[in-house]
Every structure is written in C-alpha cells, then in structure tokens.
Structure 1
C-alpha cells in the first residue's frame, strides 16, 4: 500500500495535504415547494337560513377585509318572523311572570328559549339578541360579518340574489402566514423533524428571504417519486408569497462534530474508496476507507483514517497514475 514519489514531483503535480481533524458537520437539504393557503386561516362564509342579499358591502375578489367587517346584509322573512316571536315571548314572560297562571307563563318561557335556540342555530350573535331585547325593534335585514381578517379569494354573493342554507358566499384566507408544501426524498426524512427552520427564497426575487418552520411531516410516501410531503409554515406579513407560487427551500441540519476530511481527498476506484496518507519525505500510503455522512465540502470517515493523519487533498488521480 506504500508509494514513494520525490517531494519535488509532488510539488510539481500540485499535491496538497491536510490534517484529518474533527469538524462540525451539517447537511443542507434543498428542495422546491409550492405555496399553499394555511387551512387553519381559511374561512367559508355561508348562511343557515333562506333570504335575499340586499346591501353588498364587499363586492370583488381580492378585496381585503377585517374581522367583523360587514360583508352584506340579508333580508329573511323567517328571521323577521322569529324576531317577532322572540319579542312576543319576552313580553309574555314580563306580563305573566307574577301571574297565577303558571302554565301560561311556562309556555311563554319555553317559546322564548326555543326561539333563542333557533337564533343560535342560525349563528345569530348574542349582541344582536341583546340589542333586540333592549330596543324591542325587529330588524328587517341582518348584517353578515367576516369571521377573519384576510383576502377574498372566492365570491358568489350578488346584490338581490336569493340564497339558500349552505350556499358558500365567500372564501376568505388570511395570507399573513402560508404553507409551503415540499417533497423530501425518503433517505433524507430521518434528518427532518417538526420545529426545524429553513431558509425560503424565490428564484425570480433573490433579495427576498423568509424563514420557514417544519410544521408537519406527512405519514405517506409517494411510491413513484419516493418522496414524502413536508409542510413548512412561513410568516408572510407583506403577502409576498401567494398561493400557487414556487419557492426554494434550504434546510440545514447539524450533524454534530465528526472526524471528517475534504470530499476531494477521496478517490473512488470501482467499488473502493481510498485516500492517500502522507508519511513525509514523499512516502504515501493508500488506504481503503469507510465513509459516513457527506456534506457539500466534507465527508465523515468511519474507518481507515485516524485523527492527525496527513491526507492528500488534491491531485489524487495523478498520484494514482504515478504509482502504476
């Protein structure tokens, strides 16, 4: 396993040496992901009673709305009738509260409770019920509010339109935090865990750099691509990232401090991987090595090299040809 080459010749062919030492290793996983809406920040606006849209306040896809902002008002004969029933039951309780006819008073109370439950089933707010009790005034139309702050992505509401229970009138998403869905190869999955941070960049806008956090690792693997979906959660306060865009994701995983040598020091010959050890005076020894984790610049050595060995890091091929 020994080769002797004159020191002058080693210098001529550009041989360089480096001592094998322990290095902090890190593996960078690079992938491309697709920007998607954070499903936890998505709201679908519909109603649970029949009616007609009257005053349409938010009328275009792309409009930005605040939480509790009025989207539209709706006229519903059922809602008007229920408000009237509620006021009658409330007045009945007030009039019959001290009455000797307890069955009548109890009936009024039951009607009030049943009407209140109907309001609750229709998602009528407690504030509206309290206003009804306080003013005694039946509202002809009811305002429907946005449940979240966000952007209108879909809208089916039109002024004058008759709507039925369950009709989706608005789809609103808060894009201040989004998801990036990326494919990770199965051999890299063991390096990834929830909570890790990654750098997110855009190919067409290199100046934009965001930080993503691994939020979920999906439990299934695509049998064709041998990849699993990993969800990165990214704060997007300026809404720079928009659903449907593609983004570059770089995730650096620390691997601890290991005995490592430069990748260029390893010479691959068929199934073997060898390195040259310099013992001084032009005496070189080649050794088979067993390698571990590889990074962009370094490779972990499991067997064949010990700490302090002087490793040839360049011109390996020339040394190999000189030794033939």
Structure 2
C-alpha cells in the first residue's frame, strides 16, 4: 500500500491493493486491483481501508436487507410465567378452643360453596352442655347484676366462640342443646376438609379451610436482572393458555423483597377480580409487563453480530461497499437495540444476511477477533 499527500485541501491518497470479489464469476478469476482512495482531512484511513465490496448479484443471493439507523420509542416487555393462587387475605380456618365430637356435617366435601352464616357442622362437648345449663339456671334465678352468675356464664360461652345470636336463641329456647352449630364466618369455598360426621376433634385442630375466590392472586417469577424495571402500581397484562381469547389488565400490588437463590427470581403479584369463578387457583398464566424506556437511538436486533464481548454491525456505504463497525450497545427489547457509540444518525446497516457477509469478508479490516 502506498500513501501520498497533496498540498491543497488537506487530501491524502492511498494506493490500496486489495482483493475485489466478482461474485458474477462464481468466485473464479479473482483480480488484484490497485486503486486510489481519497480521504478528507481528519478522516481515519482505517475507516476507508476496512471496507469490502459485495456486488448486487451476490447480495441478492444472500438476501441482504438494510435499515437506516434512527431514533424510536423503546418499549421493553417483560414476560413471566405465572400461576393463579388464593388471595391469602381471604382465607379462613375453622378450629375450636375445646375438644369435641362432630355431629351433623353440612360442609361435607371439598369445593362446596358456603355462604356467610351457613351452618358448617354441629359439635358436642360436655363442658359446653354444662355451661349452657349454668346460663339457663342463672336466668331462672333472675341473677342479672353487674357481677352476677348470669353475666359470668354468658362470658364463658362467648369465650368459647358461641355467638351472641346463639346465646340469645338459647335464652329464648330455655333448653340446652347437646350439639351446638358452628357457622361459616365468610362466603367462600371449602378447599380443605379434615373431619367426617362423628369424628373426635382436638382443640386447635384445623377442621376446615374456606377461601373466598371472588378475588385471586396471579403471581409470576421475574428474573433479578429485570426486577429493577418493575414498580408497584405499574400496569400488567395477564393471559391464560386455557383462555387465549381473554386477557386481563391489573396493577402490580406486590414485589417479593427476597430472591429465590435457586432460580434467581422474585415473585411479582397482581390481583384480579373473579366474580364468575373462571380463574381457578393452580391455573397457569403469563404475566406481561411493559416498560416505556423513551426515545432511543439504535438498530434492529438482527443487525448486531455478537463477537465475544464485542458487538459488530455492517454499515452499507453505498455502491456495494460494506464496512464492519464495532458499536457499544445499551438497552434493548425483543426487536431493537440501543446504540451508544459507533454509529451516527443516517447510517445504513445490514439487517439480514450479515452472518454470510461476515464469512465472505473474513474481516480483512483488521478486527483482531475475526
């Protein structure tokens, strides 16, 4: 290669002996063709010398397409596998403060819907029978003072979770009930059942669990690298494989503060109304969260070649000339990568066929990693 300089205009010429590929000849008859390259003042010679030529016929065979580098609004979408779970704030456990025996059992199968105040089962306990008898006796003695036996007996029944309505019914009835009814504290569905009719139960034992399914949680697992983008209150879209035509919109209500050390994920939760009961706990779902990253300067994702830790694109200089150029990338989504350094507005880059072009060029431009 020979280099010369003219004294006017600050121009430099370079005699460049390079291989020119004539693809029309099916790669036969390669010619060594000297030519002069004129570089303006301040222009790097390497920017001119690193170019190579691919004729239009070969570009068509490879399927080369190009795109202009531009600014566009970058939307990052985070996809997370998710599952429908119970709303834990709408669960109720049914247990007793005393031992007893189950009588009539109305909550007789898992999945049965229950209304608030509906009888779940009846319970027998000899101490309860004695407490009722003591309360009725105090009423008959008309012992109603502030420190009366009647008040003490009533308080004893209350401490055993006998409702005020049942105590009033006992006073009106005037007769002890061997089996007292246990009522549902809320609307819900039986999701756990540990009793049968006639079973003996212990104090503190979980007998039933009710879940109000009118609202459910959808919880997704998000990788730690994506967690900084997610904030409580941001909008999320929920879809279900079993209901492809139906999507739900909700807000992020909770981000787990602790990371799962095995999966490197944290739970992100949204809450969905479920008045018709279509969303069943255990259903698989997909959580989609969109983050607006604003206007960004960049290229299509398929334009970038990954060379170890470096990122390379092919810039189309016109007249069949291409130039590999290292770039520094920033944010990205599925289709677009932000470019921080290496390109200018108006540059045209190759967006398809770039791997075949890389093989053709063999990077005689001097990029060491190729």
Question: Given the two structures, how large is their TM-score scaled by the length of structure 2?
Answer: 0.72
The aligned counterpart of 2:67 is: 18
What displacement does 1:216 show?
Answer: 2.4
Question: How many Å separate the matches in 1 of 2:113 and 2:327?
Answer: 61
Question: How many Å separate the matches in 1 of 2:82 and 2:248?
Answer: 13
Contact 2:66 2:350 in 1 (8 A): yes
The aligned counterpart of 2:16 is: none
Determine helix, strand or coil for the equivalent of 1:190: helix
Contact 1:26 1:252 in 2 (8 A): yes
Question: How many Å separate the matches in 1 of 2:212 and 2:326?
Answer: 57
The aligned counterpart of 1:102 is: none
Question: How many Å separate the matches in 2 of 1:127 and 1:106?
Answer: 21
What displacement does 1:285 show?
Answer: 4.4
Contact 1:80 1:138 in 2 (8 A): no
What displacement does 1:6 show?
Answer: 7.2
Higher mean alpha-carbon deviation, 199-208 vs 38-47, is at: 199-208
The aligned counterpart of 1:101 is: none
Deviations 1:271-322 (Å, cap 9, x if unpaired)? 3212233454445444321111221111111222233333332333454434
Deviations 1:11-34 (Å, cap 9, x if unpaired)? 635443323222222222223234
Question: How many Å separate the matches in 2 of 1:270 and 1:169?
Answer: 61
Contact 1:213 1:234 in 2 (8 A): no
Contact 1:212 1:235 in 2 (8 A): no
Determine helix, strand or coil for the equivalent of 1:72: strand
Mark the runs of 5 or more structure 2 residues left unpaired by the alignment: 1-46, 365-370
The aligned counterpart of 2:310 is: 272
What displacement does 1:174 show?
Answer: 2.1
Question: How many Å separate the matches in 1 of 2:156 and 2:165?
Answer: 15
With over 3 angstroms needed to count, the CA separation of the structure-2 counterparts of 1:138 and 1:300, relative to structure 1, is farther
With over 3 angstroms needed to count, the CA separation of the structure-2 counterparts of 1:6 and 1:286, relative to structure 1, is closer
Determine helix, strand or coil for the equivalent of 1:220: coil
Question: How many Å separate the matches in 1 of 2:191 and 2:209?
Answer: 5
The reply to whether residue 45 of structure 1 matches residue 94 of structure 2 is: yes
The aligned counterpart of 1:99 is: none
The aligned counterpart of 1:73 is: 122
Deviations 1:10-66 (Å, cap 9, x if unpaired)? 863544332322222222222323443222221111122343332222212221111
Contact 2:123 2:182 in 1 (8 A): yes
What displacement does 1:262 show?
Answer: 0.5
Query: Which of 221, 231, 239 is the aligned partner of 1:193?
Result: 231
Query: Which of 310, 325, 339 is the aligned partner of 1:301?
Result: 339
Deviations 1:77-131 (Å, cap 9, x if unpaired)? 3233323333444555x567xxxxxxxx5542xx333333323321222223344
What is the root-mean-square deviation in Å for CA atoms of aligned residues? 3.1
Structural mapping, 1:122-201, within 5 Å: 122-133=160-171, 135=172, 137-140=174-177, 141-201=179-239
Higher relative contact order (CA 8 A, sep 6+): 1
Question: How many Å separate the matches in 2 of 1:14 and 1:77?
Answer: 89
Contact 1:35 1:243 in 2 (8 A): yes
Contact 1:211 1:235 in 2 (8 A): no
The aligned counterpart of 2:21 is: none
Question: How many Å separate the matches in 1 of 2:151 and 2:282?
Answer: 48
Mark the runs of 5 or more structure 1 residues left unpaired by the alignment: 97-104
Determine helix, strand or coil for the equivalent of 1:219: coil
Contact 2:110 2:190 in 1 (8 A): yes
Deviations 1:187-243 (Å, cap 9, x if unpaired)? 111122223343334445534544454332222223333222333434344434433
